[in-house]
Amino acid sequence: MKPTQKAVQYFSDEQLQRSRALSATEKMRFLDQYRQLHAQQSSIRKSKLISLKVPEDLLETFQQHCALKGVKYQTQIKQLMRDYLHNQDKTER
């Protein structure tokens, strides 16, 4: 399993000065909002590993097409799934 790397956040001197000026209540409110936002984002980003049988020629052609467009083929598959669901929503209305 690949280790997870987290981005490092750098703050300007001005940002640090503003954060030092916050009251304890403001700091707690900020931390609570940050936790809520982070929880929402992490639940959206969870992925499920699936196994899918696809004819080799179809997969190879799709991969080549995506490479020419500079798009990762798995990302394009997910986009096709989103587009399909979005179009289904439109036709059901």
Q: Which CA distances in Å does 88 have to 47, 79, 92?
A: 22, 14, 6
What is the reported pLDDT for 7? Answer: 66
41 with 61, same domain: the answer is no
Q: Is residue 66 part of a domain?
A: yes
What is the reported pLDDT for 54? Answer: 96
Q: Is residue 50 part of a domain?
A: no
User: Average pLDDT of 65-80?
Assistant: 94
User: Average pLDDT of 66-92?
Assistant: 88
Residue in the block written with tokens 């403001």: 26
Q: Which two tokens stand for residue 11?
A: 């703050």
User: How does pLDDT run across 14-48, given as a tens digit for each residue?
Assistant: 888 988 898 988 888 888 888 887 776 666 667 88
Domain boundaries, position 73 = 56-92
What is the reported pLDDT for 75? Answer: 92
What is the reported pLDDT for 65? Answer: 96
Q: What percent of the chain has pLDDT over 90?
A: 35
Q: Is the pTM of this model over 0.75?
A: no
Q: Is residue 24 part of a domain?
A: yes
Q: Is residue 2 part of a domain?
A: no
The two counts, helices (H) then strands (E), for the chain are 4, 0
Checking if the pLDDT of 6 tops 80, the result is: no
Q: Is residue 30 part of a domain?
A: yes
60 with 79, same domain: the answer is yes
Q: Is residue 61 part of a domain?
A: yes
Q: Is residue 78 part of a domain?
A: yes
Q: Is residue 39 part of a domain?
A: yes
